[in-house]
Structure 1
Amino acid sequence: MEIRVIVPCFNEEDIFESTCSELTKILDKDSIIKKYTYDILFIDDGSSDKTLDIIMAKTKFNKRIKYISFSKNFGKEAAMYAGLTHSKDKDAVIIIDADLQHPPELIPIMIEKFIRGTDQVIAKRDRKNENFLRKITTKTYYKLINKFVDVPITDGIGDFRLLSQRVVHAIVSMTESQRFSKGIFSWVGFKQEIIEYENKTRVAGQSKWSFKKLIDYGVDGVISFNNKPLRLLLYIGLLVCFFSIIYILITFINIMLYGINLPGYFTIIFAILFLGGIQLISISIIGEYVGRIYYEVKARPHYLIKKCNVDNE
């Protein structure tokens, strides 16, 4: 049995040694017990620090260390897709972050459940040690997104998981450029088990997720797996038309009974601003979908490889 651990990296020089040491220590011990071979594939997502140099130095002393380095920063979604694309021959693949917020000690549990026949072993974190504002914002986001998307998205479940070979093949076959892995993992299905762990803070380095990136990722989640925002625009348009007709009838009856009343500044300004706001929102939502069609039609590669020591596929 061959297991591969995929670790996306972007400017992780401060924590790489700790991550690599922790992973190899756990995998060495577990592979002896469960009799499997493993390697660790680091995906350097165009790091501007010494991450790639450190990885390449490691490969000289440990043949189990593999790497793919992108020509520039293509994002974590592209890094995970590259790792999975180059791991289709493995019996199972584990995706884990490089910051040790995903506890590597869960890997033996994941492999044990995989051996028993589970296709996706999913790690779910709790929300302990998170600040109050982020906790409330996250819970609100997941409640909202599950009302829009066509697949269930669970709070606390991220990319840390084990995937069987057939799940990897299914995900790699989905070649869309605008990827939202949380939705893709949920959409492909297969037998799943969830294991929970306590939320951890970064050991070193800084988070690459700014507030703006989190907002963009949230929008991707809403847009990627449904057309409900477009349907919502239809409902809003019908509702506005209904109230407009009611308003016109009331105004007409008022004119018939009391004559023309010139004052109407507030009504006009309100109507202009309200309808203008709805139009701008509608155009923006439609533009998001059109933009995604534009990127899909161009069919550019998800990533470009600068250096690697694994076979291209």
Structure 2
Amino acid sequence: MTVTVLIPVYNEVDGLAECYRRLDAVAGNCAENFEFLFVDDGSSDGSAQWLLELRQRDARVGLIELSRNFGKEIAVSAGLDHASGDVVMLLDADLQDPPELIPEFIAAWREGYDIVYGQRLSREGETWLKIQTSHWYYRVINVLSDVPIPADAGDFRLLSRRAVEAVRALREKHRYMAGLYAWIGFPQKALPYHRHPRHTGQSKWNYLRLWGLALEGITSFSTVPLKLATLLGVVTASAAFLYGVYFLLRTLLFGNPVPGYPSLIVVMLFLGGVQLICLGIIGEYLGRTYVESKQRQLYYLRGLHPSRERQHDD
């Protein structure tokens, strides 16, 4: 059996040597054959060159070079398109997810699970705000989505061959991979673990990018925001109608006093804010529909360097 370890890379040259060393140690203690497939997502720090040199020394190492930085979700998708193993293990190059747990993922797969995902019990080295927003995001999306998405689970997971083929068949441009893994179904199992701090460097995920990923998840797997916008419009219109009836009756019964300027401004700003919120929600869905309708390729390759062991097998 061959295990393809898929590692997306974006400007991680300082940590690649340690990542490879630990992967090599894990592979040496396992009976399975291993392939290390790195996906360089348009790095500018020499990561691709370092990996090409590593490939010359180790026949198990393969490299996919994307033509530019497409983002982690696309990089993972490119890796899945070219992974040839019986199972595929997803791992980040920053070593926050310990490679030493790979044998436990394989053991769970042998029990009959198509997807084994790491579920974070703790997240060392991350801010309180990031931990709390992540915690509540998973709770919110599971309220909104029809597809249960495992809480506190990232990309650290193992996929069987049929799970890989199922994900590969989904070619949507706006990709929220955690949702796609859940959407395809198949037996899945959680593997609790403690997440480590980054081995080196800084996270590429700032709060703006995390907000964008959160929007991808919600808009890709739920239409509840659109329904809420409709409900908000109905409630606001009903409140405005009742307020108008109140002023009509007060005018008929008690005359027509001049309404206060502050209350008028408050009502106008409130209604304007509601309209902008609803238009923004509609715009998010419309923009994604527009992008999907163009049918562009998910990515382009600058270079494809399969592992030399795989070349020999072919």
TM-score scaled by structure 1?
Answer: 0.94
Q: Map residues 224-303 of structure 1 onto 2, 5 A cutoff.
A: 224-303=220-299
The answer to whether residue 203 in structure 2 is matched with residue 199 in structure 1 is no
Contact 2:42/2:65, CA 8 A, preserved across alignment: yes
2:28 aligns with 28
Query: Runs ≥4 in structure 1, deviation > 3 angstroms?
Result: 128-131
Query: What is the alpha-carbon distance in structure 2 between the residues aligned to residue 62 and residue 6 of structure 1?
Result: 16
Cα drift, residue 37 of structure 1: 1.8
User: Aligned with 2:29: secondary structure?
Assistant: helix
Give unpaired runs (5+ residues) of structure 1. none
2:35 aligns with 39
Contact 1:119/1:167, CA 8 A, preserved across alignment: yes
2:103 aligns with 108
Cα drift, residue 128 of structure 1: 4.6
Query: What is the alpha-carbon distance in structure 1 between the residues aligned to residue 190 and residue 216 of structure 2?
Result: 24
Residues 274-304 of structure 1 show CA distances to partners (whole Å, capped at 9, x for unaligned) of 1111111111111111111111111111111
Contact 2:134/2:152, CA 8 A, preserved across alignment: no
Moved more, 103-112 or 265-274: 265-274
Identify if the C-alpha distance between structure 1 residues 23 and 197 changes in structure 2 by more than 3 Å, giving closer, same or farther. same
Identity, in percent, stands at: 38
Contact 1:127/1:156, CA 8 A, preserved across alignment: no
Q: Map residues 44-193 of structure 1 onto 2, 5 A cutoff.
A: 44-87=40-83, 89-129=84-124, 130-193=126-189
Counterpart code for 2:86: D
Contact 2:115/2:157, CA 8 A, preserved across alignment: yes
Aligned counterpart in structure 2 of residue 308 of structure 1, from 299, 304, 311: 304
Counterpart code for 2:189: E
Query: What is the alpha-carbon distance in structure 1 between the residues aligned to residue 133 and residue 275 of structure 2?
Result: 27
Residues 25-76 of structure 1 show CA distances to partners (whole Å, capped at 9, x for unaligned) of 1012213xxxx32201000000000100100000111110000001110000
Query: What is the alpha-carbon distance in structure 2 between the residues aligned to residue 59 and residue 219 of structure 1?
Result: 37
Moved more, 261-270 or 36-45: 261-270
2:5 aligns with 5
Contact 2:122/2:193, CA 8 A, preserved across alignment: no
Cα drift, residue 140 of structure 1: 2.3
Number of matched pairs: 307
User: Aligned with 2:236: secondary structure?
Assistant: helix
Counterpart code for 1:298: K
Contact 1:6/1:41, CA 8 A, preserved across alignment: yes
Identify if the C-alpha distance between structure 1 residues 263 and 248 changes in structure 2 by more than 3 Å, giving closer, same or farther. closer
RMSD, aligned CA: 1.5
Residues 92-142 of structure 1 show CA distances to partners (whole Å, capped at 9, x for unaligned) of 111110001011011011111212221111111123534333332222222
